[in-house]
Structure 1
């Protein structure tokens, strides 16, 4: 579990996050949603320590992550997997080398053990016979699955996903959502997903917080969100014609 308490964050005197509190449970897909520019990416980066918060607390399990020094945070960082918006694969490395990268950086496994782990992770994301291909030789959806394999290579306790469906077609997006959901359940990971994709929200949104103008205005799940009374949330959820029609049926 990760808990945040009264988190505030500013840049150059401009406050971005205002007193944000939430709990993100293990074994659940926890979603942070909201419009672009309203603070959800800053919140995600603060959670992993890329931004130091101004005040409040970020707690991993029973450890106050935000109070630790950068060096003291290292052990927790080794328990974190990251899935970046653009996959962020290394173009000059093969698929196998990309997935092995965190193992080379942070583990003491033998070369044989690393290869076994790489192959296990690739199999888990339904990729076979791609070890020696380069990112440019596989599709965008396959690149995203390689990125997921890399994110779970160290068997993380925490998984952070920044707009995991960015640039993907709707069918592939569902595949990625389902894969993240399955891995979360299978390994009991605390998964936090930053998204503005309502299809993801309605597909895998077990715990959702809505951020608007740097404030948490609502929290609930995918069943609650269609009948929520928060005006700003409704403007966000029902922005598309599809979800307007869904609302009329609720």
Structure 2
């Protein structure tokens, strides 16, 4: 579980995050949603410590991340996995080497144990017969799956995904969504996903935080979001007429 309490963040005297509090539950896909410029990316980066908050607390299973020194933070970060927007694979390394990289950096496993863990993670994301290929030799969807395999190779307690479906077609995006959700549930990870993709929201949104202009405007789940009377949320959701029709059809049933 990750809990944020009364988070504030500003840049050059401009308030970007304003008094945001939220609990992100273990074993659920927790989504941060909002328009571009809403503050959701700053919030995600603040939670992982890429930005220092001006005020408030960030708690990892009741451990106060905001008050930790660098040594303790470094230790805690070994419990985190990260899937970056572009995948961020190393072009000069093979698929297998990309996944093994965190093990080489942070574990004391033997070569055989590392290989076993790499094979397990690649199998978990349904990557076969691609171990020796380079990122340029596989599709964008496969690159994202390799990035997910790398993010879980150290058995993290916490998984962070920044726009994981960026640049993917709708069908591949659904595969990535389901993969992240199943890994979260099966491995009992606390997963936080930063997204503006309403398809992801409706498919895997177990616990959703909606941000507008740096403020927390709504929280709920994918079953509740279509029926919220929050005006800002409605404008965000129903910018896609598909979801207006879905709501109307359910109301008329």
TM range (shorter): over 0.9
Report the counterpart of residue 116 of structure 1 in structure 2.
Answer: 116
For these two proteins, the number of residue pairs brought into alignment is 250
Report the counterpart of residue 36 of structure 1 in structure 2.
Answer: 36
Aligned-residue offset at 1:244: 2.2
Output the TM-score relative to the length of structure 1.
Answer: 0.99
Q: Alignment partner of 2:20: what SS?
A: strand
Distance 2:5 2:146 in 1: 34
Distance 1:245 1:40 in 2: 27
Report the counterpart of residue 48 of structure 1 in structure 2.
Answer: 48
Instruction: Please tell me whether the aligned partners of residues 238 and 247 of structure 1 are also in contact (alpha carbons under 8 angstroms).
Output: no
Report the counterpart of residue 17 of structure 2 in structure 1.
Answer: 17
For residues 73-152 of structure 1, the aligned pairs below 5 Å read 73-152=73-152
For residues 189-228 of structure 1, the aligned pairs below 5 Å read 189-228=189-228
Q: Where in structure 1 do 4 or more consecutive aligned residues deviate above 3 Å?
A: none
Deviations 1:175-220 (A, max 9, x none): 0000001000101000000000000000000000000000000000
Distance 2:70 2:55 in 1: 16
Q: Can you give the 5+ residue segments of structure 2 that lack an aligned partner in the other structure? A: none
Q: Alignment partner of 2:226: what SS?
A: helix
Report the counterpart of residue 153 of structure 1 in structure 2.
Answer: 153
Aligned-residue offset at 1:241: 2.0
In the alignment, does 2:2 pair up with 1:2?
Answer: yes
Aligned-residue offset at 1:247: 2.8
Aligned-residue offset at 1:70: 2.0
Aligned-residue offset at 1:248: 2.2
